[in-house]
Amino acid sequence: MCTAITYQTRDHYFGRNLDVPASYGESVVVTPRNFPLPFRRMPALERHYALLGVALTARNYPLYYDAVNEAGLAMAGLNFPGNADYKPEVPGQDNVTPFELIPWLLGRCASLAEARAALERLSLVRIPFSPDLPLAPLHWLLADRTGAAIVVECVAEGLRIYDNPVGVLTNNPPFPFHREHLAHFLHLTRETPASRFAPGVELRPCSLGLGAFGLPGDLSSASRFVRAAFVKGNAVSGGSEAESVHQFFHILDAVAQPRGCAVAGDAGYEHTVYASCCNLERGLYYYTTYENRQITCVDLRREQLDHDQLAVYPMLHRPQIVLQNGPEGPQMRKFSQPS
């Protein structure tokens, strides 16, 4: 399961938690403008917007989990099992497979408006990448520098596009449920509530935070949606890059999954393998991993964007801890990976 959010201070930010039982060997991948992007049923993009995000690279093809392009359009795919329903090919439509959707949209679209127009002609077709890499059941969150966001879901009734004023997406059920479910929590507030229990009964708050009493705390997708929306909607941050990025990760921490709390069958325990935060204006991709809480950044504008080869940066999983005291002053200590 996963959670994706948008956030705005001085700039616009977009990112997600990837919650799965284990890493699949994903890396931070830059797809430059002249890297050919072939598609199974559509003409290849020989030149396109540069992309930056987390992907599994298979046969020199970037299978993106989430990414941002150089124009500031961002997109993330989240697990949607039992509801995702991909279709047969449709003559006259743009037939794109789900694993191609992120590069197909971000490669050609500079804005959410352009992406929405492209989606109107789209048919998501049932073509897997390979026999050993079947299609993942997904739905997607998209956002750009305007602060707007949409959700894309391909269900039994067809392709659905929803405006998302909350700027949050989790997993099942479909997005309309999550949007309506928020109304059950409209009484929650960050303020200390006044006593309305009964006339003549004087009650005093025993703790700060009682205004949010009843905010869901479990790890289900419905509860994470509510909790992420509440925390994001009430989060206060300064406008600097450091303040904004750290606050973004604190919001994701509110819905992060520690290993051991959610059994994922024989696969182990679901946990937040990585968390990401993209600055849409500046092309900066920040991430942390479960083992390494140090924020790491890849800067799109430091790349040779007119190249024709992928740039692949393995994610840093080794724990890094600063030892503050000692005659040498603060030093970074790196720990060996467990065997």
Instruction: Find, among 272, 280, 281, the residue nearest to 251 by Cα.
Output: 272
DSSP lists the bridge partners of residue 19 as 272
Half-sphere exposure of 29 (CA within 13 A, CB side): 22
Q: Which of 2, 109, 154, 277 is catalytic?
A: 2
Instruction: Find, among 75, 33, 82, 71, the residue nearest to 53 by Cα.
Output: 75
Is 2 among the residues known to form the active site? yes
Question: Edge to edge, what strands does the sheet with 2-8 contain?
Answer: 168-169, 2-8, 12-20, 271-279, 284-289, 296-299
Could you give the C-alpha distances from 50 to 177, 247, 252, 313, in angstroms and in order?
Answer: 35, 27, 26, 16
Residue corresponding to tokens 């917007």:
49
Q: What is d(CA 107, CA 73) in angstroms, rounded to the nearest whole number?
A: 10
Phi, psi of 159 (to 5 degrees): -80, 130
161 and 150 Cβ atoms separated by less than 8 Å: yes
Could you give the C-alpha distances from 38 to 44, 96, 118, 306, in angstroms and in order?
Answer: 4, 11, 17, 17
Q: At what angle do helices 221-234 and 241-253 cross, to 10 degrees?
A: 150
3-state secondary structure of 64: strand
Q: Which of the residues are catalytic?
A: 2
